[in-house]
């Protein structure tokens, strides 16, 4: 044999079988058990690695999955991507990435092109919303599987992962009540967001069960989940007389909470001495600021790994007993941004 990377021809010659037999062994085709063992032994001895491109042709697959997300510019998405990379590593598959808000306006054209041109074997959509419905229609017509990570709207996907946002809201309610807060404000992301509504639902119910009402005037929504939405509410908060301000503010996610908290501190309002601040998601930016942000942590990386593994199982037609939807538990991380309610 020639030196260099072993070929399928070398494996066939050493195992005394046809090249097509080696191909069936590699690609999971029908081969008798004794022949399969003999061929596999030669593959191991020679260190033969099948061509991914050739396997893709045989299986009529691309070897790629598509990942569609609103924006890649967040630490939360970095955790999503890390989970997907961990799940993909053993499969030797690649990921194509599309940011559908790259220009500031929603544009799914890249993902639609993947579907139309058969460039991916399946799709992972992050924070799916109703405006992504055309993607579902196109994927359905192409018989392309779709899994969802933290969807912000209901959709008939093949699989989805999310965290228990209602329980997350309840955890925050319990924590703030234990600290003596009775006047609490909630600043969510977009009003149509499932995550925002579930978190608000849990917070409101948790407070009500402890004898505290969340006043309608203390509930508002941002146009996005970005830091700027928290800054905008901070300006509204600062315009109120100090004696009438809430003693605690719960924001839709960590970037909003950090933006809110930073703006207050820049304007001389103490956190948590004058107002306690809470976020959601448990992203690294919450522990890297001071005071550290009290937040509800969701296992984002694990959620992404589970979603990606489910998609791979669907693509490879591997049997699985997982449910069509998995809800992950959350954990309250208490840091320096919350303290006992200040007297007014």
Whole-number average pLDDT of the chain: 91
Burial class (CB in 10 A: 0-12, 13-18, 19+), 79: buried
Each residue of 199-217: pLDDT tens digit?
999 999 999 999 999 999 9
In CATH, 165-298 is 3.40.640.10: no
Tokens 């998609």 found at: 311
pLDDT score at 89: 87
Domains 8-59 and 165-298 share a fold: no
Nearest by Cα to 302 from 125, 99, 150? 150
User: Which pLDDT value is given to residue 225?
Assistant: 92
Under the banding of pLDDT at 50, 70 and 90, the label for residue 52 is low
- Report the CATH number of the 8-59 domain: 1.10.260.40
The whole-angstrom separation of Cα 174 and Cα 330 is 14
3-class SS at 336? coil
Tokens linked to 193: 């967001």
Cis omega (within 30 of 0) for bond into 279: no
Q: Which residue carries 């799916």 as its tokens? A: 128
Per-residue pLDDT at 2? 45
Residue 325 pLDDT grade (very low, low, confident, very high; cuts 50, 70, 90): very high
Quickly name the fold that domain 64-163+300-327 has: Rossmann fold (3.40.50)
The pLDDT of residue 174: 98
| CA 129 vs CA 49, 138, 288, 296: distances in Å | 41, 16, 30, 22
**Given this model, what pLDDT does residue 166 score?**
97
Task: Name the DSSP letter for residue 292.
Answer: P
pLDDT at 187 over 70: yes
Residue 60 clears pLDDT 70, i.e. is over it: no
Among residues 90, 112, 91, 108, the alpha carbon closest in space to that of 99 is found at 108
Residue 57: pLDDT over 50: no
pLDDT in tens, 238-267: 999 999 999 999 999 999 999 999 999 999
Res. 1 pLDDT band, cuts 50 70 90: very low
Residue 28, pLDDT above cutoff 70: no
Statement: residue 276 has pLDDT above 90:
yes
Q: Which helix (H) or strand (E) holds 225?
A: none
* Domain locations along the chain: 8-59, 64-163+300-327, 165-298
What percent of the chain clears pLDDT 90, i.e. is strictly above it? 67
pLDDT at residue 293 is higher than 60: yes
What local confidence, expressed as pLDDT, does residue 23 receive? 78
Instruction: Quote the pTM value.
Output: 0.81
pLDDT at residue 59 above 60?
A: no
| Per-residue pLDDT band at 3 (split at 50, 70, 90) | low
């Amino acid at each position: 044999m020639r030196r260099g990377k072993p070929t399928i021809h070398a494996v066939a010659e050493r195992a005394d079988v046809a090249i097509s037999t080696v191909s069936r062994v590699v690609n999971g085709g029908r081969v008798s058990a004794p022949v399969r063992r003999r061929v596999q032994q030669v593959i191991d001895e020679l260190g033969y690695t099948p061509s991914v491109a050739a396997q893709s042709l045989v299986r009529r697959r691309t070897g790629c999955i598509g990942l569609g997300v609103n924006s890649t510019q967040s630490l939360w998405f970095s955790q999503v991507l890390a989970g997907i990379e961990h799940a993909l590593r053993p499969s030797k598959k690649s990921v194509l990435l599309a940011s559908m808000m790259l220009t500031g306006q929603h544009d799914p054209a890249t993902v639609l092109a993947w579907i139309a041109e058969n460039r991916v074997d399946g799709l992972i959509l992050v924070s799916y919303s109703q405006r992504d419905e055309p993607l579902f229609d196109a994927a359905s017509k192409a018989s392309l599987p779709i899994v969802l990570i933290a969807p912000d709207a209901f959709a008939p996907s093949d699989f989805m992962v999310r965290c228990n946002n209602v329980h997350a809201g309840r955890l925050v309610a319990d924590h703030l009540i234990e600290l003596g807060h009775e006047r609490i404000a909630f600043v969510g992301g977009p009003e149509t967001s499932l995550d925002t509504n579930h978190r608000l639902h849990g917070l409101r119910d948790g407070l009500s069960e402890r004898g505290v009402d969340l006043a309608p005037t203390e509930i508002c929504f941002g146009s996005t989940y970005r830091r700027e939405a928290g800054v905008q509410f901070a300006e509204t908060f600062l315009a109120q007389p100090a004696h009438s301000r809430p003693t605690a503010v719960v924001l839709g996610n960590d970037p909003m909470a950090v933006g809110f908290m930073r703006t207050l501190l820049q304007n001389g309002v103490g956190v948590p001495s004058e107002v306690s601040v809470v976020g959601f998601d448990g992203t690294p930016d919450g522990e890297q600021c001071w005071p550290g942000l009290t937040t509800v942590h969701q296992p984002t990386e694990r959620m992404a790994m589970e979603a990606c593994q489910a998609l791979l199982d669907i693509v490879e037609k591997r049997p699985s007993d997982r449910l069509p939807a998995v809800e992950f538990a959350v954990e309250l991380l208490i840091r320096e941004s919350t303290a006992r309610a200040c007297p007014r």
